[in-house]
Chain A
């Protein structure tokens, strides 16, 4: 064991870096806390008050952030649940049974997840545009401008990663578990839902946390498929604030800060799961 000696150089380096890391966020928060009248008068680079939360309430009401939050939830929650369901079934099938193509399929799933999404943008956009839907389902008459389109693609994209991580986890569960169940006459579905899934809970919790934050933060797919203003998720809504409140950095900063709150709550509540999800695939899982 190396003896502990003070490492002044390391601490100096780390604290300088940490301060540099925090400054952009603190600057945003500082800007958000100051009324526009104050910054117009004294400039953004000044210490003059007052400080209040008016920008936050204004951003909430004027920009309709509440609606965007609802939309983000409508996109992220079903996407995460469906991804977990599909990925866990696939992972169960490839990790607990031996059949001809199980490794091949796992490779294909993993590869698909690593493609740059822009590669698939044109065909998916056109496929959805040319899929007619009755107007009572979709105002555009096609799959465009519907959440089905975004959810379907998010699920397809995320299933690869989740399958890979879950299959590694399930592979490590002892084979005797399901052997015993088989002796008792339990079918495949029962083994999956009653034995393997409960034991996979830690991995599922980790992935669910991670995916929720990722999908909440996602920008590209909704940008491509959703164009109606009242259907946009938070990421796009907050990006549009820049055009909407052109010269009001204070309000933009406040709006941006608000959108971090759900992420922060999830992170603080489920920090353990989040970090293990991020590193689950990287270590032995």
Chain B
């Protein structure tokens, strides 16, 4: 999944006046120009509609049906049966919800704050700042598949680095970090944080660089210490990027997929909502209705941070 890659997108920060360009009214254009413009808008919009929004609606539709994925005429209405099955009778459902929540909690409490801390520390004019930045940033360039493979080598029970450092490798008491359902979620989260913190660091560093230095100077003149200056002046000034960070953290927790899929296809302690969707769609027991019901639940939950973000971003950009 595009590391997946959630995207830092926000309108111009507050206080930075966007030059109001005189955009032109379409009505004043010639017929030919209007046609060109229509195509420029129409083609991307059509692609978005056909490959994103219509499938999203179809997902909702399919979640109320029973279907084996063969002939279209086999689609039978099923009412709420798929949802009832998912919630009441599908064993991995609640564990997956719990794991997604733990995932979110860990990102919000550990990984994201760590990224922020790194950014704040590296924003001071510190010796070797660039080298540190490159080091923390490197995992962001790696695919999540690669992150999964690298950490499997680190976590392996007998050959892995961790158990060798602990001195338990090859002994009966050695922890199987990725195989033991009591610990593997946390092990996977450490691997995720390794990548996530660097991503947050880069975004936040860019935000910090954009803060008007005179704000800080003014705070210093008023006698604020560096800590006070950060929390009272810099942090509030970074509101737009703070929103981006919150949204990215929530969406990353919902999108998590690749790493657990690489480790063990998201089973045995690593169930996540996104993986359950896929397990129901492909493979032997294709249950498209149930998979779609799970997808719709994921969709509804995802819309919360997405709408929050869009309202925050576009309300301001509009005025």
Chain A residues with a Cβ under 8 A of chain B: 1-2, 4, 7, 10-11, 13-14, 17-18, 21-25, 27-28, 31, 39, 43-45, 86-87, 89-90, 92-99, 103, 105-127, 129-130, 152-161, 163-165, 168, 171-175, 178-179, 182, 187-189, 192, 213-221, 223-224, 235-236, 238-239, 242, 249, 252-253, 256, 259-260, 263-264, 267, 275, 278-279, 281-285
Q: Are A93 and B143 in contact (CB under 8 A)?
A: no
Given A96-B23, A189-B36: A119 touches B302 (CB 8 Å cut-off): yes
Q: Are B22 and A253 in contact (CB under 8 A)?
A: no
B257 on interface, CB distance cutoff 8 Å? yes
Q: Are A284 and B33 in contact (CB under 8 A)?
A: no
CB distance from B314 to the nearest CB of A (A): 5
B contact residues around A238 at 8 Å (CB): 145-146, 149
A118-B277, A214-B5 given. 13 additional CB < 8 A pairs?
Answer: A7-B126, A27-B153, A44-B164, A45-B161, A89-B43, A115-B302, A117-B4, A118-B255, A157-B51, A189-B36, A216-B143, A217-B144, A220-B4
Q: Which of B51, B131, B202, B262 contacts A279 (CB 8 A)?
A: B202
Chain A, interface SS category: helix
Once A and B bind, how many residue pairs between them come within 8 Å at the CB atom? Answer: 347
Q: Could you tell me the distance between the alpha carbons of A153 and B56 in the complex, rounded to whole angstroms?
A: 13
Q: Which of B18, B33, B156, B306 contacts A172 (CB 8 A)?
A: B18
CB distance from B76 to the nearest CB of A (A): 15
Given A99-B26, A283-B210: A114 touches B143 (CB 8 Å cut-off): no
Chain B residues with a Cβ under 8 A of chain A: 1-13, 16, 18-19, 21-26, 29-30, 32-33, 36-37, 40-41, 43-45, 47-48, 50-56, 58-59, 62, 69, 72, 118, 121-122, 124-127, 131-132, 135-136, 138-139, 141-146, 148-154, 156, 159-161, 164, 169-170, 194, 198, 202-203, 205-207, 209-210, 217, 220, 226, 241, 244, 247, 251, 254-255, 257-258, 261-262, 274, 277-278, 281-282, 288, 291-292, 295-296, 298-299, 302, 305-307, 309-310, 313-314, 317-318
